[in-house]
A and B are shown apart, each in its own frame.
Chain A
Amino acid sequence: MESEVKKTDFGCVFSFTTDLTLAYSCVLKFQKKNIISIIIVLIQQYISMGMIIQVLFLFQYVCMIASFLISLRFINKEVFPHYMKNFYWYTVVGFFVVIPSLLGNYTDSNFSGIGNFVNNISVLFHFLFLSFFCINLLCDEKKGIFYFLQFVGMLILIFLLFRYDMFKRNRLLSAVANFGLVIFCILYFVKLFNNSPDINIKNEPSFWIVTGVLFCMSISIPVMIFQNHFYSILVTKGWVDFFRGIAMLCYGIMHLFFIKAFLCTSVHSKIRY
């Protein structure tokens, strides 16, 4: 009976208040079973998977746009640490890459083909840029080995790009690129703990960026593989939304970490003598 109440009705407000009151009284009486059942009822009534997906979709793009806007202040400025000097390019390119997806989502126009094509190409940039960033952080003497790894990774990605239809979303390509980046991120942490620990890690932009990338990439690998290989089996809408939601959450969190890294980076105006 409760589930039949339309969410736009005023009845919903009363029902919500009643449920909350009930939940509150359960908390007071510490009735665990009742609390869980009330939470389930609340979820059933007021939250839907579609709503969560929309929220995560917004969360992802808001984070992305926020990191893009914050990164704008680094353009043509002296920044410290120096490895952050060109990092704004990642968010700038990312912003332009998501435009087709955003337009496709909020307008009736069909941008999915172009969006997929741009996405597939951007995976190459994504891998190249972030791996280069990690190599810059890693490099001491064995730079050649890392560049070789990057080169091999790029060859595999180019092969995968041309192997499949470029106008369809190539999740295998993304999974392989993300796997490569996970390796570079792990190498960063190995180096972090092997070198003399003389940095303030909480204010170290590279730490936040690499942590964000590692988290997002390592979660998105199984997600991409599941989406790519088990799509025909897990074709139910629930599973599709499930994986989409996880991927969007991860990307949103990664951009939040980028924002944190940008906030840790200090900007100095260029002084010309």
Chain B
Amino acid sequence: MESLSTQYLIVFILVCICLILMLISFIVFVIYQYKQKQNLYYKDMEQVKALHRDELLQSQIEIQEQTFENISREIHDNIGQKLTLAKLHLNTLDLLEVNNANERLQTSVTLISDAIIDLSDISRSLSAEVIANNGLIKALELEVQQMRKSSLYNISLEINGEPVFLDSHRELIVFRIIQESLSNIMKHAAATLIKIKLNYTELLLQVNISDNGKGFSVDQPYTYGTGIANMKRRAGWLKGVCLLDSIPGAGTNINIEIPLI
């Protein structure tokens, strides 16, 4: 009877030891597997982060190149023309004809003043410092003000929701997207009315740019210029989307959604 009791006891102790060993093995196994998975995950995350950093760098370079292109175009098409005209006026200046000379001098002064104003406008609109110092909304207000000066467009800017400051780099990209779309409207749309709406929600920054221009067929992708592709790509860099809606003759509507988190 006693040996039977001892047998039960030994079996019991062995079973208990086995159970505890099983439990320890299970925990060690789960933790080990999880750590392995975690290491792989962190490696992947590092790669994604590096990729994102590269993309941002690429975007910076692209924006810089485009800025240079815009500067050279503006200088060539606008300021260069005004300065050439001023030089022409000054070259043909005949000091013996006082009235004519005065008029030519006055015109030259006006042309040079316009060129100086244009230069400062370009510098202001292309400079990333405006965004860094004043933020997206202020930069947009300046841009709108600039366009109003031309008297060609009835342009409005509407801000809804509580504005959230993204970091200056992201704000610059959003600003460049809006600038690109405004540039497209000016170049191709022949619009008279432009509406810019910014809506800040808890999770998103929604930007809507609409015009009453001639529009285009969205179904035919070859009608897109590189400008639209640029806008979509830039929105993608910020993990956002850029959607176009346009009907020939009925204007264009651009919706951009950028996550705030």
* Interface positions of A (Cβ within 8 A of B): 3, 40, 43-44, 47-49, 52, 189, 192-193, 196-198, 201-202, 207, 211, 215, 219, 238-239, 241-242, 245-246, 249-250, 253
Instruction: Tell me whether A192 and B34 are in contact (CB under 8 A).
Output: yes
B37 within 8 A of partner (CB): yes
B21 proximal to A (CB < 8 A):
no
Whether B10 is near chain A, meaning CB under 8 Å from some CB there, is yes
**Residues 17-33 of chain B: 1 if any A CB is under 8 Å from the residue's CB, otherwise 0?**
00110010011001101
Among listed B1-9, B70-78, B165-173, B240-248, interface-contacting one: B1-9
Q: Which of B12, B20, B30, B35 contacts A52 (CB 8 A)?
A: B12
B23 neighbours in A (Cβ, 8 Å): 211, 215, 253
* B10-A43 in contact (CB<8A): yes
Task: Output the nearest chain A residue to B11 by Cβ-Cβ distance.
Answer: A242
B197-224: CB near A (< 8 Å → 1, else 0) gives 0000000000000000000000000000
B2/A249 in contact, CB under 8 A: no
Report the minimal beta-carbon distance from A45 to chain B, rounded to whole angstroms.
10
Contacts of A52 in B (CB 8 A): 9, 12-13
* A249-B27 contact given A44-B2, A238-B8, CB 8 Å threshold: no
Q: How far is the CA of A245 from the CA of B8 in the complex (A)?
A: 11
Distance of A215 Cα from B23 Cα, bound (Å): 7
CB pair A241 B8 closer than 8 Å: yes
Q: Can you give 10 A-B contacts (C-beta < 8 A)?
A: A43-B13, A47-B9, A192-B34, A198-B38, A201-B31, A211-B27, A215-B23, A238-B5, A241-B8, A245-B12
Task: Give the distance in Å from the alpha carbon of A75 to the alpha carbon of B140 in the complex.
Answer: 53
CA distance A249 to B20 in the complex (A): 10
> A49, A189, A253: which contacts B12 (Cβ < 8 A)?
A49
Q: How large is the interface on B (under 10, 10 to 19, 20 to 34, 35 or more residues)?
A: 20 to 34
Query: Within the assembled complex, what's the spacing in Å between the Cα atoms of A215 and B34?
Result: 19
Interface of A: prevailing SS: helix
Residues of B contacting A48 with CB < 8 Å? 5, 9
* Chain B residues whose C-beta falls within 8 Å of the C-beta of A211 in the assembled complex: 23, 26-27, 30
| Nearest CB in chain B: distance from A130 CB, A | 18
- List A contacts of B50 (CB < 8 A): none
B57 interface residue, CB < 8 Å from A?
no
Checking A3, A201, A242 against B30 with a beta-carbon cut-off of 8 angstroms, the contacting residue is A201
Q: Is the beta-carbon distance between A246 and B9 smaller than 8 angstroms?
A: no
CA distance A253 to B6 in the complex (A): 25
Are A197 and B5 touching (Cβ within 8 A)? no
* Contact A43 B16, CB 8 Å, known A211-B26, A211-B30, A238-B4: no
Q: What CA separation (Å) do A253 and B22 show in the bound complex?
A: 13
- The answer to whether A197 touches B38 (Cβ under 8 A) is yes
Given A196-B41, A246-B16, decide whether A40 and B30 contact each other with a Cβ distance below 8 A.
Answer: no
Write out the residue numbers on chain A whose beta carbons fall within 8 Å of the beta carbon of B26: 211, 215
- Contact residues, B148-201 vs A (CB, 8 A): none
Q: Does B88 contact A (CB under 8 A)?
A: no
Complex contacts, B37 vs chain A, CB 8 Å: 193, 197
Closest Cβ of chain A to B180, distance in Å, is 35
Check: B116 CB closer than 8 A to any chain A CB.
no
Extra pairs beyond A48-B5, A238-B4 (14, CB < 8 Å): A40-B10, A43-B6, A43-B9, A49-B12, A198-B38, A201-B34, A202-B31, A219-B19, A238-B5, A238-B7, A245-B16, A246-B16, A246-B19, A253-B20
Distance of A249 Cα from B242 Cα, bound (Å): 61
Closest CB-CB distance, A148 to chain B, in whole Å?
Answer: 28
**Is B15's beta carbon under 8 Å from chain A?**
yes
In the complex formed, the residue of A with least CB distance to B38 is: A197
In whole Å, how far is B8's beta carbon from the nearest beta carbon of chain A? Answer: 4
- Asked if A193 and B34 make an inter-chain contact with CB atoms under 8 angstroms apart, the answer reads yes
Chain A residues in 8 Å Cβ range of B12:
49, 52, 241-242, 245-246
| Chain A nearest CB, measured from B233 CB (Å) | 27
- A251: min CB distance to chain B, Å: 13
Task: Let me know if A197 and B41 touch, CB within 8 A.
Answer: yes
Across-interface contacts of B34 in A (CB, < 8 A): 192-193, 197, 201
Query: In the bound complex, do residue A242 and residue B8 qualify as a contact, i.e. CB atoms below 8 Å apart?
Result: yes
Closest chain A CB from B216 CB (angstroms): 40
- CA gap between A215 and B38 in the complex, in Å: 24
**Is there an interface contact between A49 and B9, defined as CB atoms closer than 8 Å?**
yes
Residues of B within 8 A of A219 (CB): 19
> Contacts of B13 on A, CB cut-off 8 Å?
43, 52
How far is it, in angstroms, between the C-alpha of A207 and the C-alpha of B31 when the chains are bound?
10
A197-B37, A197-B41, A249-B19 in contact; A189/B10 too (CB < 8 A)? no
Query: What's the Cα separation between A193 and B38 when bound, in Å?
Result: 10
Name the B residues within 8 Å of A198 (CB-CB).
38, 41
